[in-house]
Chain A
Protein backbone atom coordinates (compact mmCIF):
# COMPACT_ATOMS: atom_id res chain seq x y z
CA UNK A 1 0.00 0.00 0.00
CA UNK A 2 1.29 3.46 -0.89
CA UNK A 3 0.33 5.06 2.39
CA UNK A 4 -1.16 8.51 2.78
CA UNK A 5 0.15 10.86 0.11
CA UNK A 6 0.44 14.60 0.59
CA UNK A 7 1.50 17.32 -1.78
CA UNK A 8 3.35 19.53 -1.92
CA UNK A 9 5.94 18.46 0.65
CA UNK A 10 7.16 22.02 1.03
CA UNK A 11 5.47 25.30 0.20
CA UNK A 12 6.84 28.81 0.52
CA UNK A 13 4.48 31.64 -0.26
CA UNK A 14 3.93 35.28 0.45
CA UNK A 15 1.36 36.71 2.79
CA UNK A 16 -1.98 37.15 1.11
CA UNK A 17 -1.56 34.35 -1.39
CA UNK A 18 -3.84 31.34 -1.62
CA UNK A 19 -2.39 28.01 -0.53
CA UNK A 20 -3.85 24.60 -1.37
CA UNK A 21 -2.65 21.45 0.33
CA UNK A 22 -3.61 18.07 -1.06
CA UNK A 23 -4.08 14.63 0.43
CA UNK A 24 -4.77 11.16 -0.93
CA UNK A 25 -5.81 8.75 1.84
CA UNK A 26 -5.04 5.06 1.95
CA UNK A 27 -7.35 3.13 -0.34
CA UNK A 28 -10.27 1.67 1.59
CA UNK A 29 -10.06 4.15 4.45
CA UNK A 30 -13.23 6.09 5.05
CA UNK A 31 -12.13 8.68 7.60
CA UNK A 32 -9.71 11.50 6.88
CA UNK A 33 -8.17 14.03 9.24
CA UNK A 34 -6.26 17.28 8.81
CA UNK A 35 -3.84 18.33 11.56
CA UNK A 36 -1.56 21.29 12.07
CA UNK A 37 1.67 21.10 14.04
CA UNK A 38 3.49 24.09 15.48
CA UNK A 39 6.04 24.50 18.22
CA UNK A 40 3.70 26.64 20.25
CA UNK A 41 0.49 24.61 19.99
CA UNK A 42 1.69 21.11 19.19
CA UNK A 43 -0.57 18.87 17.11
CA UNK A 44 -4.05 20.24 16.55
CA UNK A 45 -6.93 18.56 14.80
CA UNK A 46 -8.38 20.98 12.26
CA UNK A 47 -11.16 18.96 10.66
CA UNK A 48 -12.14 15.39 9.90
CA UNK A 49 -14.36 13.65 7.37
CA UNK A 50 -16.29 10.39 7.53
CA UNK A 51 -17.31 8.97 4.15
CA UNK A 52 -16.38 12.28 2.50
CA UNK A 53 -18.65 14.29 4.81
CA UNK A 54 -17.15 16.90 7.16
CA UNK A 55 -18.03 15.88 10.70
CA UNK A 56 -16.19 18.26 12.97
CA UNK A 57 -14.51 21.45 11.81
CA UNK A 58 -14.35 23.11 15.21
CA UNK A 59 -10.57 23.09 15.02
CA UNK A 60 -10.42 25.20 11.88
CA UNK A 61 -8.85 28.45 13.07
CA UNK A 62 -10.94 30.90 11.09
CA UNK A 63 -12.81 31.52 7.87
CA UNK A 64 -9.60 31.76 5.91
CA UNK A 65 -9.33 27.98 6.21
CA UNK A 66 -11.53 25.61 4.24
CA UNK A 67 -11.39 21.89 3.50
CA UNK A 68 -13.12 19.70 0.97
CA UNK A 69 -13.32 16.02 0.19
CA UNK A 70 -14.98 15.63 -3.22
CA UNK A 71 -14.42 11.87 -3.28
CA UNK A 72 -13.01 9.03 -1.21
CA UNK A 73 -9.51 9.40 -2.61
CA UNK A 74 -8.85 13.11 -2.44
CA UNK A 75 -9.04 16.01 -0.01
CA UNK A 76 -7.82 19.60 -0.01
CA UNK A 77 -7.09 22.13 2.69
CA UNK A 78 -7.13 25.70 1.45
CA UNK A 79 -5.90 28.87 3.14
CA UNK A 80 -7.02 32.14 1.57
CA UNK A 81 -5.51 34.60 2.25
CA UNK A 82 -2.47 33.12 3.95
CA UNK A 83 -0.74 34.85 6.86
CA UNK A 84 2.70 34.32 8.45
CA UNK A 85 1.09 32.75 11.54
CA UNK A 86 -0.20 29.95 9.32
CA UNK A 87 3.37 28.69 8.95
CA UNK A 88 3.37 25.13 10.25
CA UNK A 89 3.52 21.50 9.22
CA UNK A 90 0.14 20.25 8.03
CA UNK A 91 -0.56 16.54 8.27
CA UNK A 92 -3.25 14.46 6.70
CA UNK A 93 -4.17 11.12 8.27
CA UNK A 94 -6.65 8.39 7.39
CA UNK A 95 -8.23 5.38 9.02
CA UNK A 96 -10.84 2.74 8.39
CA UNK A 97 -13.66 3.55 10.76
CA UNK A 98 -14.28 0.67 13.16
CA UNK A 99 -10.97 -1.04 12.50
CA UNK A 100 -9.27 -0.04 15.71
CA UNK A 101 -9.03 3.65 15.13
CA UNK A 102 -5.37 3.63 14.13
CA UNK A 103 -4.64 6.73 12.11
CA UNK A 104 -1.96 6.57 9.46
CA UNK A 105 -0.24 9.85 8.75
CA UNK A 106 1.10 11.30 5.56
CA UNK A 107 4.57 12.85 5.44
CA UNK A 108 3.21 16.33 6.01
CA UNK A 109 3.43 19.61 4.15
CA UNK A 110 5.80 22.18 5.59
CA UNK A 111 4.27 25.59 4.91
CA UNK A 112 6.16 28.85 5.26
CA UNK A 113 4.29 32.10 4.74
CA UNK A 114 6.57 35.11 4.40
Chain B
Protein backbone atom coordinates (compact mmCIF):
# COMPACT_ATOMS: atom_id res chain seq x y z
CA UNK B 1 0.00 0.00 0.00
CA UNK B 2 1.12 3.52 -0.72
CA UNK B 3 1.55 5.75 2.29
CA UNK B 4 2.57 9.34 2.90
CA UNK B 5 4.11 10.45 6.18
CA UNK B 6 4.49 13.96 7.49
CA UNK B 7 6.36 13.75 10.75
CA UNK B 8 5.93 17.38 11.82
CA UNK B 9 2.40 18.06 13.08
CA UNK B 10 3.19 21.72 13.76
CA UNK B 11 5.88 24.19 12.84
CA UNK B 12 6.45 27.89 13.18
CA UNK B 13 8.72 30.38 11.47
CA UNK B 14 9.44 34.07 11.72
CA UNK B 15 8.28 36.26 8.89
CA UNK B 16 10.90 36.57 6.11
CA UNK B 17 12.77 33.46 7.25
CA UNK B 18 12.99 30.06 5.56
CA UNK B 19 11.25 26.89 6.68
CA UNK B 20 11.34 23.30 5.42
CA UNK B 21 8.47 20.86 5.77
CA UNK B 22 9.25 17.15 5.60
CA UNK B 23 7.45 14.39 3.74
CA UNK B 24 8.30 10.77 3.08
CA UNK B 25 6.32 8.22 1.13
CA UNK B 26 6.33 4.55 0.44
CA UNK B 27 5.57 2.98 -2.91
CA UNK B 28 6.74 0.22 -5.19
CA UNK B 29 5.80 2.22 -8.27
CA UNK B 30 8.35 3.98 -10.45
CA UNK B 31 6.12 6.54 -12.17
CA UNK B 32 4.06 8.82 -9.99
CA UNK B 33 3.47 12.43 -9.04
CA UNK B 34 3.99 14.28 -5.79
CA UNK B 35 2.27 17.42 -4.62
CA UNK B 36 2.16 19.92 -1.84
CA UNK B 37 -1.22 21.45 -1.13
CA UNK B 38 -1.92 24.38 1.17
CA UNK B 39 -5.12 24.63 3.19
CA UNK B 40 -5.64 28.04 4.82
CA UNK B 41 -8.36 28.65 7.42
CA UNK B 42 -10.86 29.04 4.58
CA UNK B 43 -10.46 25.26 4.04
CA UNK B 44 -9.81 25.67 0.33
CA UNK B 45 -7.21 23.18 -0.94
CA UNK B 46 -4.69 25.09 -3.02
CA UNK B 47 -1.99 23.47 -5.10
CA UNK B 48 1.43 24.79 -4.13
CA UNK B 49 3.81 22.73 -6.22
CA UNK B 50 4.00 19.52 -8.25
CA UNK B 51 6.83 17.11 -9.02
CA UNK B 52 6.94 14.32 -11.59
CA UNK B 53 8.88 11.32 -10.32
CA UNK B 54 10.68 10.83 -13.64
CA UNK B 55 12.19 14.31 -13.45
CA UNK B 56 15.37 14.68 -11.47
CA UNK B 57 15.22 18.44 -11.40
CA UNK B 58 13.53 19.81 -8.32
CA UNK B 59 10.37 21.81 -8.96
CA UNK B 60 10.26 25.46 -7.98
CA UNK B 61 7.41 27.94 -7.86
CA UNK B 62 8.44 31.42 -6.78
CA UNK B 63 9.24 31.21 -3.05
CA UNK B 64 8.39 27.50 -2.92
CA UNK B 65 10.79 24.75 -3.87
CA UNK B 66 11.11 21.05 -3.22
CA UNK B 67 13.95 18.69 -2.46
CA UNK B 68 12.97 15.47 -4.19
CA UNK B 69 15.08 12.45 -3.29
CA UNK B 70 13.58 9.54 -5.20
CA UNK B 71 15.84 6.84 -3.80
CA UNK B 72 15.13 7.97 -0.27
CA UNK B 73 11.43 8.52 -1.08
CA UNK B 74 11.61 11.97 0.39
CA UNK B 75 9.83 15.10 -0.82
CA UNK B 76 10.39 18.16 1.37
CA UNK B 77 8.99 21.65 0.79
CA UNK B 78 11.08 24.76 1.36
CA UNK B 79 9.36 28.10 1.80
CA UNK B 80 11.67 31.07 1.46
CA UNK B 81 10.96 34.59 2.68
CA UNK B 82 7.96 33.36 4.67
CA UNK B 83 4.93 35.62 4.65
CA UNK B 84 2.01 35.88 7.06
CA UNK B 85 -0.25 34.58 4.31
CA UNK B 86 1.69 31.33 4.28
CA UNK B 87 0.07 30.38 7.59
CA UNK B 88 -1.92 27.24 6.79
CA UNK B 89 -2.03 23.47 6.90
CA UNK B 90 0.29 21.91 4.33
CA UNK B 91 -0.43 18.48 2.91
CA UNK B 92 1.99 16.30 1.02
CA UNK B 93 0.28 14.04 -1.51
CA UNK B 94 1.20 11.15 -3.78
CA UNK B 95 -0.68 9.89 -6.81
CA UNK B 96 -0.31 6.95 -9.13
CA UNK B 97 -3.08 5.82 -11.49
CA UNK B 98 -5.63 8.02 -9.74
CA UNK B 99 -4.78 6.49 -6.35
CA UNK B 100 -4.24 9.69 -4.35
CA UNK B 101 -2.86 9.55 -0.82
CA UNK B 102 -2.41 12.46 1.54
CA UNK B 103 -0.20 12.90 4.56
CA UNK B 104 -1.68 13.97 7.88
CA UNK B 105 -0.56 17.54 7.33
CA UNK B 106 1.75 20.06 8.97
CA UNK B 107 0.29 23.16 10.56
CA UNK B 108 2.59 26.07 9.74
CA UNK B 109 2.37 29.36 11.59
CA UNK B 110 4.28 32.38 10.34
CA UNK B 111 4.95 34.81 13.16
CA UNK B 112 5.33 38.57 12.63
Give the B-binding residues of A (Cβ under 8 A).
Answer: 31, 33, 42-43, 45, 48, 50, 55-56, 89, 91, 93, 97, 100-105, 107-108, 110
Contacts and interface: CB of A to CB of B under 8 A. Distances in A.
Given A43-B91, A100-B33, A101-B33, A108 B47 contact: no
Interface string B36-67: 01000011111100101000000000000000
Given A105-B44, A108-B44, A100 B52 contact: yes
Contacts of A110: 43
Provide the main secondary structure of the chain B interface.
strand
Contacts of A33: 98, 100
Contacts of A42: 102-105
Given A89-B43, A100-B52, A102-B50, A43 B102 contact: yes
A82 to B, nearest CB: 20
B44 A100 contact: no
Interface centre among B33, B45, B99 (most CB of A within 10 A): B45
A105 to B, nearest CB: 4
Given A101-B95, A105-B44, A108-B43, 15 more contacts: A31-B98, A33-B98, A43-B91, A43-B102, A45-B100, A45-B101, A56-B98, A56-B99, A91-B45, A100-B50, A101-B33, A102-B50, A107-B42, A107-B44, A110-B43
A48 B98 contact: yes
A102 B45 contact: no
Interface in B1-46: 33, 35, 37, 42-46
A38 to B, nearest CB: 12
B61 to A, nearest CB: 12
B52 A50 contact: no
